[in-house]
Amino acid sequence: MKKKEQKDLTIVIVNDFDYVQGGASKVALETAKILHQNGYNVFFFSGTHQENEYLKLGFKNITLNMEECLKDKNKIRGALRGLYNVKAKKELRKLLKTLDPNKTIIHVHGWTKTLSSSVFSVAFKMNFKVVLTLHDYFTACPNGGFFNYPKNEICKLKPLSCKCICTNCDSRNYVFKMYRVVRQFIQNKVLYKKIENVISISDFSERILKPFFDTKVRFVRINNPIKKGKTNIKPDFEKNSYYLYVGRISKEKGVDIFCEAITALNAYGIVVGDGEERANLEKKYPNITFAGWKNDEEVEQYMLKAKALIFPSRWYEGAPLTPIEAMRLGIPCIVSNNSAATDYIIEGSNGFIFQNLEHLICILKNFNMKKMKKMIYKEDYYDQLTKYYEKILLEKK
């Protein structure tokens, strides 16, 4: 794509990582790419760096080149940075001093792993307009997922209530839960008083998060950008022989639910991805093929040969990209009712929604691929986003 005429508007994308570390980072980088290719002056401000293809596209990349807070060899230093990263604040201030607040938008995607809420503090203080995309639940929940890890179930407690603070819901231990609580108090003090513009990425996640924000905060729904597949090959359902899971292999993702259902049916299943639960599941389910991490093109090939993609997440998924990417290829998706992918499912047409393991097994027993239809995913990410930016700056003037 040719770069279009230069726009008189600067966008500073703020994200913990300048490489694809997860869904939020992927969207942040795709946003930088799309805006840069359409003539916007784009800065990508990140905490943790890794060389990748996105950084060769030409937008300006500014990285602190720091380790994630929890991976810092000096645990105390890492913990303090996680609460409030002074260097991130200092370096972002240095960048913002060179920019005009009347012609600049600060768009934050991820900040909890390296940058901390200090990035909001400096942007607000210097009178820049900030847009926040809600990729996860860290704006409300201390552990970011409304999930009780020891119990392996959704948490219904009010965040930062006495019951919440006294409950050990963390994936590590209660001491770390208390650390997250302190971080949440600091973040809330910085964020909630000043934030005005919020992008939600699904109706599902907006219903959960909106009550935690002031009624004056403007919520705008914009679907995540989805990369188009590089192939025009249509799935051959008569030949497709396996059910597929793609993603991180961890307890909250429910990969064991996938494995148990496939095993109960004596069906063929493939897991693409990696994570802390892989070794345990490989040992327990030798009938399942664990393919490891694959790049986008390889994942696409796995999808094209699948009967269906199963997305069995136990925790709330804000707007998972994988099911949508599969449905765009014409692959039906069977998703748990804890996932925002339910927003896109037309039951019996492009997939199904299941409530528990028994329900999933029942769906798979009666699954008829011939009735499935390709999902039409309307994406106008660029148009919606840029109109939103322009509206915000016009109001500022």
Is residue 380 very low, low, confident or very high in pLDDT (cuts 50, 70, 90)? confident
Is the pLDDT score of 2 beyond 60? no
Average pLDDT on 287-308 reads 93
Is residue 37 very low, low, confident or very high in pLDDT (cuts 50, 70, 90)? very high
In this structure, the number of other CB atoms found within 10 A of the CB of residue 372 comes to 22
Q: 378, exposed or middle or buried, with CB in 10 Å at 0-12, 13-18, 19+?
A: exposed
Q: What is the pLDDT of residue 377?
A: 60
Q: What is the pLDDT of residue 370?
A: 73
Mind listing the pLDDT tens digit for each residue in 140-179? 999 998 999 999 999 999 999 999 999 999 988 999 999 9
Q: What is the pLDDT of residue 1?
A: 46
- Which domains are seen in the chain, by residue range? 10-135+196-225+379-396 (3.40.50.2000), 242-371 (3.40.50.2000)
CA-wise closest residue to 191 among 262, 130, 137: 130
Is residue 368 very low, low, confident or very high in pLDDT (cuts 50, 70, 90)? confident
Range scoring the smallest mean pLDDT among 117-121, 149-153, 196-200, 375-379? 375-379
Supply 302's token pair: 């796995």
Spatial distance between the Cα atoms of 257 and 268, rounded to a whole number of angstroms: 14
Residue 130 is inside which H or E element, if any? strand 129-134
Average pLDDT on 252-271 reads 95
Could you tell me the pTM of the whole model? 0.88
Alpha helices of 4-101 — where are they, by DSSP H? 23-37, 75-83, 86-96
Average pLDDT on 242-269 reads 95
